[in-house]
Structure 1
Amino acid sequence: MLKPRSTPTRELVNLDGIWRFTVGEQTLDVAVPASYNDLFTDSAIRDHVGWVRYHRQVRVPRGWADERVVLRVDAATHEGKVYVDDVLVAEHAGGYLPFEADITEHVRAGEEFRLTIGVNNELTDTTIPPGTVITTPDGRRQQQYLHDFYNYAGLARSVWLYSRPAVHIEDITIVTELDGTVHYSVETSEPAPVRVRVLDASGTCVAEADGAHGDLRVEDVILWRPGAGYLYDLEVEIADTDVYVQPFGVRTVEVRGTEFFVNGEPFYFTGFGKHEDTPVRGKGHDPAYLVHDFQLMRWIGANSFRTSHYPYAEEVLEFADRHGIVVIDETAAVGLNLAVASGLMGAPPRPTFSPETFGEATREAHARHLRELVARDKNHPSVVMWCIANEPASNEEGARDYFEPLVELTRKLDPTRPVTYAAVIFATHENDRIADLFDVLCLNRYYGWYVATGDLATARVYLEGDLRGWAEKYGKPIIMSEYGADSMPGQHSVWDIPWTEEYQLSYLEANHRIFDRIDAVVGEHVWNFADFQTAPGIHRVDGNKKGVFTRDRRPKAAAHALRARWAGLDGRKPSSVAGE
């Protein structure tokens, strides 16, 4: 699905701002984009389970009389229905990817219509991510879920109205090679002559061709590199009716042995698991936080991040494209692990993968999510790998039957990028049932925090044995996709006391000593970039505090230590530059 853009043949109206919002019997003002949960003081709204309605009047520009009119919703968490006046024109399941509807037959140029978007935050065994709605003893509906971040809901990203010609460009796919070869494919609404041009950063045409499918060659090509996000534009024109410009970068990624390569050069990931999470806005996209977060990543020496645990706003990937930040793009498949819930709640264990729990219907929702994710993000040079799940029960019976078709689907959708998943600590090199299906091993490990809490000497022994087991058995690159310890800002001690800033720093240093000794480790993503909100409960105090920055982006002591470790690495492993 092409992102809406203003071009010589397309116009774009942004519908962000103050909308009306109906929840139950109340109608209030609400901000778009933003999660609605933290905007109001009424806890019944924050804790609401089920449908809400956003509505406003929209005027179609009068110059669009001969154009197709399209309404696009960048995200509706977790299910959306769109009405033009009282007519249902679109519905979509999945809270972190866009959907749209051609509403030409329902509106008139120059006139207003009433736009209503219903949003449902319910999670079930057949949604991605999953969850369960229960009824409390006093009759309230309550959402329970298996992921450790707050279930923010609403219209967290932009809503757009845009025009396009009747005969128009529907999709573009771009694949590049290091010699400057650009393989392109253009899909149109109906057969039409296609002309393409490659424009460099100055707007100069450096290659052109005719036809909907083909190859171009850019001479003296400038590569997209980590830290230097050079972009070209592919300008596509069809039959003098439509023009669309798709930015892209020339780069390759591959896995050979235990190394990860970008443009044929070994690459070492430094950075974070992140969250779209800020005060008041919840998961609402905010350009100011986007710019500031990338500034902080540059300051600390991070070259990459994982979109844990869902696809982020496309503006985030565009920013990463322009600034040369490497991205592991993750689906919203978090919580496919009933053993975690049993451990936290003391409930009897249930099999994760079964017809009664996560079965064929869940996998179909997962597959649909993968198709939409790859379709949206396939042309972003910053995206170097697909992560199809976070901490699934990959050690349980049924895991292989569930995941093998999804891995095959991902490779079919995009043969050019490696595929991974993030393994939970319960899944070891001895009992994991799916690791051989993937190109890269991403491991989430918390020795010294959840295991051997406060005992870093024991934690180092556990971690080194764990990593060497994976490396020896599989011979694949390993990325530490999560490792971290909670810390309360201002909590200090001369000893290694959990929750102090000093312990968080010592914990990270203990992990780094092990990473540097194991050749197969090709990256370290600290959990987390910043503190974030979670569901209320005794396991968290006002959210998860594993951030090296506070939720409002103030650095903890660990941030300065990471900056000292990562500064000047330029994609190389820290142990390889220790003597420089």
Structure 2
Amino acid sequence: MLSPRTSPTRDIVSLDGLWRFALDTHAGATPWASRLASTLEAPVPASYNDLFVDTEIRDHVGIAWYQREVRVPRGWAGERVVLRFGSVTHAAQVYVDDRLVAEHTGGYTPFEADLTGIVRPGTEFRLTVGVDNRLTNVTIPPGTVTTGSDGRDRQSYLHDFYNYAGIARPVRLCSTPPTFVADVTVVTGRDGAAGTVDYRVETAGEAADATTVRVRAVDETGRTVAEAHGSEGAFRIENVILWQPGAGHLYDLVVELTADGGTVDSYTQSFGVRTVEVRGTEFLINGEPFYFTGFGKHEDTPVRGKGHDDAYLVHDFELLRWTGANSFRTSHYPYAEEVLDFADRHGIVVIDETAAVGLNLGVMGGLTGAAPTPTFAPENFGGPTRDVHARHLRRLIERDKNHPSVVMWCLANEPASNEEGAREYFEPLARLARELDPTRPLTYAAVMFATPDNDLIGDLFDVLSINRYYGWYVFTGDLRAAEQYLEQDLRGWARRFGKPVMMSEYGADTQPGLHSVWDTPWSEEYQSDYLAMYHRVFDRVPEFIGEHVWNFADFQTSAGIHRVDGNKKGVFTRDRKPKAAAFALRRRWRGLDGRRPGPAANG
């Protein structure tokens, strides 16, 4: 699905702003049939949970309704009219006046509704969106809804971040010609000093068969550097400027659909020329070994929840640059397209992850002491869940395939890869990912219960991403023992699989302002010493290719005795103030510059 772009043939109207808002318990049986009888207004994009002071809204389980009026521009006569949502968490019903025009499940990927013939240019229509936040065993991520003795529904889930809901990303009304460019795929390579570009253009509409395709590659000065004709083809860019970590050089692929000598449609797809591969135990970008430094992040900010915010986008990337980070993982779901566009332009490397977090019933058993339930049993996360997971994976790759910043697909976070049924679950997914995109390596983030001895799926993937918390959840406060077990663990993964190993999560909850001269968990000194211990181990493992601290910033979680106002493992507070660990990371990472560190790098 193409991201919305203005062009000589396309226009966009933003529908962001304040919408009328009501819970389903107050909206009546058919809230789309008339104006919502509510005085509440909610901003789009934003999650709704933290906006109001009413706990009924914050704790609501079920559908909430958004509504506004939309005027179609007068100049769109004869054009195709498309309504596009960046995301709705987790399922959506979309009505134009009294008509259902779209349904979508999946809270982190875009969807569209073709309104051509339903709405008329120069007129107004009522747009109503039902937002369903419920998670079940056949959603990604999964969850469980139960009804209490008081008749209220309650949502439980297995992931450690708050289940924010709402219209979290931009909403746009778009125009295209009746015959239009439907999709563009760009795959790049290198041939000496030249860049090679394979492209594929899909067209659709009433007269698509009567059109021809021509493409032009344009550099950042506006100069055409290559041209080609046909819906599929290839061309070379001589003396190419590569997209590289820290230097996000981009070209534009201008796609023009023509008929009878005139332009029918025009769409511009940016791209960067770069290569990615795993060779032995090295991760290579443009043929050079690359060492990941950075974070697992979250789309999480005060008040807006998971709502996209350009101000936080810019500030977060500035903080990444300040620390010396060169990369991040989109834990634990696909981020807004605007985030990846920004990473493309600024040379930040991205590991792009599906929303498959929580596929591990053993974690809950470990927290509660209850006997674990088999994760991949049919009544839990068996075949139907895998089918949903496959749809999410397909949507992720289709959306993000052209981003040069994306160098690896992460299929899941902390699945029960040590349990019976894991291989049957993941082998078809890994095969699907390689069919959809044979150019990028695959990974998954392994939970602590999965060890080099019992993991069942590591050989299906190209890079071993390991989540470990020795010194926090295990050997709490004992960094000497934690160091011994961490090194033994990492060397075991490298020895068994012979593949690159990186740390996709390591961290310790830290209360800003708490200080101690001892190894006291929750203190700022302990967080810094904890990270330094991990870095010593990383520098001793030859197969090691990167470190992603958990987490970039503190974030909100569900209430419970394991969390006090959220997860505090951030090296920045939730409002982006640095803890002592942020300065320690800056000292380490700014000297690495994407290179493999040696023992002296730890300082």
TM-score calculated relative to the size of structure 2: 0.95
Equivalent of 1:433 in 447, 456, 473: 456
What is the match of residue 459 of structure 1?
Answer: 482
What is the match of residue 145 of structure 1?
Answer: 157
1:289 aligned to 2:312?
yes
CA distance in 1 between counterparts of 2:177 and 2:405 reads 30
CA distance in 2 between counterparts of 1:414 and 1:115 reads 36
Which residue identity is paired with 2:19? W
For each residue in 1:195-215, what CA deviation from the matched residue of structure 2 results, as whole angstroms up to 9, or x when unmatched?
Answer: 000000011100001101000
1:60 aligned to 2:72?
yes
What is the match of residue 6 of structure 1?
Answer: 6
| Matched residue SS, 1:241 | strand
Shift of 1:25: 1.2
CA distance in 2 between counterparts of 1:172 and 1:42 reads 45
Whether the 8 Å CA contact 1:491–1:501 is kept in 2: the answer is: yes
Equivalent of 1:520 in 534, 538, 543: 543
Extract structure 1 runs of 4+ deviating beyond 4 A: none
For each residue in 1:105-142, what CA deviation from the matched residue of structure 2 results, as whole angstroms up to 9, or x when unmatched?
Answer: 21000000000111100000000000000122322111
Which residue identity is paired with 1:5? R
| Matched residue SS, 1:106 | coil
| Matched residue SS, 1:503 | helix
Equivalent of 2:203 in 188, 198, 221: 188
Equivalent of 2:189 in 173, 177, 194: 177
Within 5 A, what are the aligned runs for 1:347-496?
Answer: 347-496=370-519
Shift of 1:578: 3.8
Whether the 8 Å CA contact 2:540–2:599 is kept in 1: the answer is: no
**Unmatched segments (≥5 aa) in structure 1:** none
Structure 2 CA distance for partners of 1:282 and 1:488, relative to 1, 3 Å: same
| Matched residue SS, 1:215 | strand
Alpha-carbon RMSD across the aligned residues, in angstroms, is 1.0
Which residue identity is paired with 1:193? T
CA distance in 2 between counterparts of 1:149 and 1:579 reads 31
| Matched residue SS, 1:410 | helix
Whether the 8 Å CA contact 2:536–2:602 is kept in 1: the answer is: no
Which residue identity is paired with 1:238? L
Within 5 A, what are the aligned runs for 1:249-268?
Answer: 249-268=272-291
What is the match of residue 199 of structure 1?
Answer: 218
What is the match of residue 209 of structure 1?
Answer: 228
Which residue identity is paired with 1:77? T
Shift of 1:577: 7.0
What is the match of residue 229 of structure 1?
Answer: 248
Shift of 1:457: 0.2
**Unmatched segments (≥5 aa) in structure 2:** 28-37
Whether the 8 Å CA contact 1:395–1:426 is kept in 2: the answer is: yes
For each residue in 1:224-266, what CA deviation from the matched residue of structure 2 results, as whole angstroms up to 9, or x when unmatched?
Answer: 0000000000000001110000000000000011100000000
1:247 aligned to 2:266?
no
How many positions carry a matched residue from both structures?
580
For each residue in 1:69-106, what CA deviation from the matched residue of structure 2 results, as whole angstroms up to 9, or x when unmatched?
Answer: 00001100000111111111111110000000111121
What is the match of residue 237 of structure 2?
Answer: 218
For each residue in 1:490-521, what CA deviation from the matched residue of structure 2 results, as whole angstroms up to 9, or x when unmatched?
Answer: 00000010000000000000100000000111
Equivalent of 1:110 in 117, 122, 145: 122
Whether the 8 Å CA contact 2:588–2:601 is kept in 1: the answer is: no
CA distance in 1 between counterparts of 2:362 and 2:53 reads 35
CA distance in 1 between counterparts of 2:368 and 2:19 reads 39
What is the match of residue 33 of structure 2?
Answer: none
Whether the 8 Å CA contact 1:178–1:223 is kept in 2: the answer is: no
What is the match of residue 278 of structure 1?
Answer: 301
| Matched residue SS, 1:297 | helix
For each residue in 1:40-86, what CA deviation from the matched residue of structure 2 results, as whole angstroms up to 9, or x when unmatched?
Answer: 00001000000111110000000001100000011000001111111
Structure 2 CA distance for partners of 1:506 and 1:373, relative to 1, 3 Å: same
Shift of 1:550: 0.2
Which residue identity is paired with 2:149? P
Which residue identity is paired with 2:295? F
Structure 2 CA distance for partners of 1:578 and 1:510, relative to 1, 3 Å: closer
CA distance in 1 between counterparts of 2:334 and 2:149 reads 36
CA distance in 1 between counterparts of 2:56 and 2:554 reads 25
Whether the 8 Å CA contact 2:219–2:250 is kept in 1: the answer is: yes
Whether the 8 Å CA contact 1:565–1:574 is kept in 2: the answer is: no
TM-score calculated relative to the size of structure 1: 0.99
What is the match of residue 352 of structure 2?
Answer: 329
| Matched residue SS, 1:412 | helix
| Matched residue SS, 1:2 | coil
Shift of 1:573: 1.8
Which residue identity is paired with 2:203? T
Which residue identity is paired with 1:20? R
